[in-house]
Amino acid sequence: MPYRHVYNLLIHLFSPVLLAMLYWPKRGKPGFGRRWPEHLGWVRPTSTARPLWLHAVSVGEVVAATPLIKALKAAHPEIPIVVTTTTRTGADQVARLGELVEHRYAPLDFPWAVAGFMRRIRPRALLIMETELWPNLLHACGQRRLPVLVLNARLSARSADRYRRFHGIFRLLSANITHIACQHRDDAERFAGLGVPRYRLSITGSMKFDIEYGEGILEQGRQLREQLGTARPVWIAASTHEGEDEQLLAAHRQLLQRHPDALLILVPRHPQRFDQVAELVAQQGFILCRRTEGNPGPQTQVYLGDTMGELPVMLAAADIAFVGGSLIERGGHNLLEPAALGKPVLTGPYTFNFSDIYLRLKNNDAIIAVHDSHTLSTSLNNLLQDETYRLRIGQNAKKFVYNNKGAIKKTLEQTLPFIH
C-alpha cells in the first residue's frame, strides 16, 4: 500500500527525533532502565504460550482497563494476559496488578519492531484501549489474522474530520480492525460515517463509569484526611499541567483571604514536573509540604502530591476536586474519578476530551465550570460556605456515575467470542 510505504519512510527518517523525545532524560522523569529495548521488539517471551494482549498507552488507560482485566481473568483464568504500555508511569500502574498480568513495553511502530514483538509473544488477540491505532501494528495483525478489538473507543468530531480529509489512511487503519466497541452512539456514528461497517460496531458505554474504589482506598483517604486536618477545608487540583499551576495558586491565594486555614492538594499530571511545581509554590510564598516529606503541619497551605498511583487516596481525602488539563487547551482529564467518590467536581472551559461526559454531568447538576482563577476561587468559596449545596453537587455526581455503570459487562460480551 503506498500510504504505508510513505509512512514507513517518514517514521524512519524522523526516528532520531522520536527516540530522543521518548528517552531524553528530564529532571523527575522516570527512565526505562534496562528495559528500553522492549520498545524495539526485543521482549522476553511470556511464561505461557498464546496470551491475550491488551494495550493501554499510559496510566489513565490502565486504570480504565483494570476492571475489564479482572473480569477477563474471572471468565478465563487459564488465559494469560500481557499488558503493554508505552510509558514508564503506565508500567508502574500495571505493576499494581501483581501476578494477574505480565507487563511488556509496546513496540514502537517500526515494522521490524512490531514483527519482533509478535514473534516472541505470539498473542491470540489484541485489545486496544480507546483509539491507539498504528498502521504497522494493525498491518502485522492483519497478516497474522489476529483479531483486533478497539475497546472504550472514542472518536471526536475533530478527529473524524481529520480522518475524512485523509480517508485512504483511515481505510488503511480500519481494514485490520475486527470490532470497535464505542463509548457512545455519537462515536459509533462517526466511525460508520468513515466507512466502518455497522456490524463491526457496538455501543458499550464508557468503562470509566465502572470505576470501583474499594474500602482500602476509602480508608487510606480517611487516614490522609486526619493527617491533613479534619476541621480545615481541603480542595484538590488533580492532573495539572504547566500553565495551570499559576492560575490554581492564584485562586488558592484568594481563597485563603476568606478561609485562612484552607489547604490545596496539588497533583501535577507528570512526575517530571514535581520539582518544578514545588519550586513554583515556594517562589510564590506558600507554605509547602511534599507528600514524600511526611505529614503536613497545621500551617501548611499547599500539599504537593509528588507520588504516583495515590491520586484516588488524595481525591478521597478532599472536600472538592478540580480536574486539570482544562484551564489550558489540553482538553481535560477524567471527570469521573472524583465524581465516583461523591466529590463536587470543578473544571475549566477546555473539556473536549470528555465533552459528552461533561455535558451529561452538567445536565445532572453534577459539575461546575470555571474560566479563570477568580471564578475558581468564587466557586470554591460558595461550596465551602454552603455545606448543603456542596453535598448535593457531590451526591449528584456519584449518582450519575452509578446510573451509568455496566460498560464492563457489555465490553466483556463483545470480547469473549474472539479470545478462545
- Residue 18 is predicted with a pLDDT of 82
pLDDT at 284: 96
| Amino acid found at 18 | L
In whole angstroms, what is the distance from residue 58 CA to residue 63 CA? Answer: 9
Say if CB 268 and CB 284 are below 8 A apart: no
Q: Are the CB atoms for 276 and 246 separated by under 8 Å? A: no
198: pLDDT strictly greater than 70: yes
User: Is pLDDT above 90 for 58?
Assistant: no
Q: Say whether pLDDT at 214 is over 90.
A: no
Confidence of residue 227 (pLDDT cuts 50, 70, 90): very high
Look up the CATH architecture of domain 215-403: 3-Layer(aba) Sandwich (3.40)
Cβ atoms of 267 and 314 closer than 8 Å: yes
Query: Which listed CATH number (3.40.190.10, 3.20.20.70, 3.40.1190.20, 3.40.50.11720) goes with 2-206+406-418?
Result: 3.40.50.11720
pLDDT in the model for residue 373: 97
Q: What is the pLDDT of residues 352-405, one digit of tens each?
A: 888 888 999 999 999 999 999 999 999 999 999 999 999 999 999 999 999 999
> Taking 60 as the threshold, does the pLDDT of residue 231 lie above it?
yes
pLDDT computed for residue 232 by the predictor: 97
Distance from C-alpha of 203 to C-alpha of 411, rounded to nearest angstrom = 9
User: H or E segment at 53?
Assistant: strand 52-55
User: pLDDT tens for residues 241-275?
Assistant: 999 999 999 999 999 999 999 999 999 998 889 99
- Is-above-0.85 flag for pTM? no
pLDDT on residue 27: 66
Rounded Cα gap, residues 252 and 42, in angstroms: 48
- What's the pLDDT score for residue 165? 87
C-alpha cell belonging to residue 346: 470543578
Which pLDDT score, from 0 to 100, does residue 29 have? Answer: 64
What is the β-pairing status of strands 288-290 and 125-129? unpaired
Query: Is pLDDT at 76 greater than 60 in this prediction?
Result: yes
Distances from the Cα of 378 to the Cα of 253, 255, 297, 412, angstroms = 12, 8, 26, 44
Write down the pLDDT at residue 347. 98
Domains of the chain, by residue range, sit at 2-206+406-418, 215-403
At residue 419, the pLDDT reads 87
Mean of pLDDT values over 82-98: 91
The pLDDT value given to residue 247: 97
How far, CA to CA in Å, does 28 sit from each of 73, 270, 277, 327?
Answer: 35, 9, 11, 24
Same fold, 2-206+406-418 and 215-403: yes
Backbone φ, ψ for residue 201 (5° rounding)? -120, 145
Statement: residue 319 has pLDDT above 80 = yes
State mean pLDDT over 325-334. 94
Q: Which of 307, 305, 209 is nearest to 264 (CA)?
A: 305
Average pLDDT of 224-244?
96
Which cell numbers hold the place of 398? Answer: 456519584
Q: What is the mean pLDDT of residues 156-182?
A: 88
Residue 25: pLDDT over 90: no
Rounded to whole angstroms, the maximal C-alpha distance in the chain is 65
Measured CA to CA, the distance from residue 302 to residue 288 in angstroms comes to 5
Contact 175, 142 (CB under 8 A): yes
Please say if the pLDDT value at position 420 is more than 80.
no
Mean pLDDT of all residues in the chain?
93
More confident residue, 168 or 155: 155
61 is catalytic: yes
